[in-house]
Amino acid sequence: MLDFDFEPNRPAWSKKLAVFDLETTGLDLQTSRIVTAAVAVLNANGEPIEVHEWLVNPGIEIPEAAANVHGITTEMAKANGVEPSGAIAEIIEQLRRLGGEMALVAFNAPYDFTILQSEATRYGVTPLAPVAVIDPLVLDRQMVKFRSGKGSRTLTALCRDYEVELVDAHNSTADAIAAGRLAQRQASKFPALNIEISDLHAAQVAWSDEQSLEFEKWLKQQDRPDYRAVLGWPIKIS
């Protein structure tokens, strides 16, 4: 396929992106284990030009609820998955290499990067310190203040809204590529995002905390007085 830039005025950071996604055993950022991972590189037109994938044996049972989401059972992971410490080291190595050359895109970045950090600590691997991250969820919340309906900001819903194709949702590679293409659509749509990646990264740190505190305030108004937002982006502060 020809690599021709149809949008030359789009932000420089969006012209070549690394994309990252995990599927895991659960939602807890400290205890969940990686089951599948994908790291890929997209060109200016959103086409993958480099793809790395991992199927990991997490060393624990994969709950049925998680397997129903991503399709990987404990038996499949045991039969075909690689040992986690080596996989985690490889994932971090790829992200560290690519992060020195381009922005790293992850949808709901604190989920993926915090679990990756927890896994690195668990297996004695030097953690990643991402410094040029793009999170399409944070960007959408900042650029589009109001969306109605539960689930209106899931990856699937936002891909539909921004007209990004997402086939095989909850497959790590499919989700990672869709997130990168979503970021490119946002870069085209919102002139405010046409800034240096270092400045945009710093802005998202502040935006994410503001959004979390706004959600905390809203939940307290919904009779959830004990809820406390966990701050930190792209890695949650434990």
- Per residue in 130-143, pLDDT tens? 999 999 999 999 99
**Does the predicted model carry a pTM greater than 0.85?**
yes
Give the CATH number, domain containing residue 175. 3.30.420.10
DSSP symbol at 71: -
Domain count, the chain: 1
Nearest residue to 66 (alpha-carbon basis) of 117, 37, 115, 32: 32
Residue ranges in the chain assigned as alpha helix (H):
64-70, 74-80, 84-99, 109-122, 136-143, 155-162, 172-189, 197-221
Q: Quick one: angle between helices 155-162 and 136-143, nearest 10?
A: 60
Residue 203 lies in a domain: no
Give CA–CA dist 70/167, Å, rounded. 13
Mean pLDDT, range 215-232, rounded to an integer: 92
Residue 4 has pLDDT above 70, yes or no: no
- Structural domain for 33, as ranges: 12-196
Residue 92 lies in a domain: yes
Tell me the torsion sign for CA atoms 213, 17, 183, 95: negative
Residue 115 lies in a domain: yes
Residue 236 lies in a domain: no
Looking at residue 6, its pLDDT comes to 54
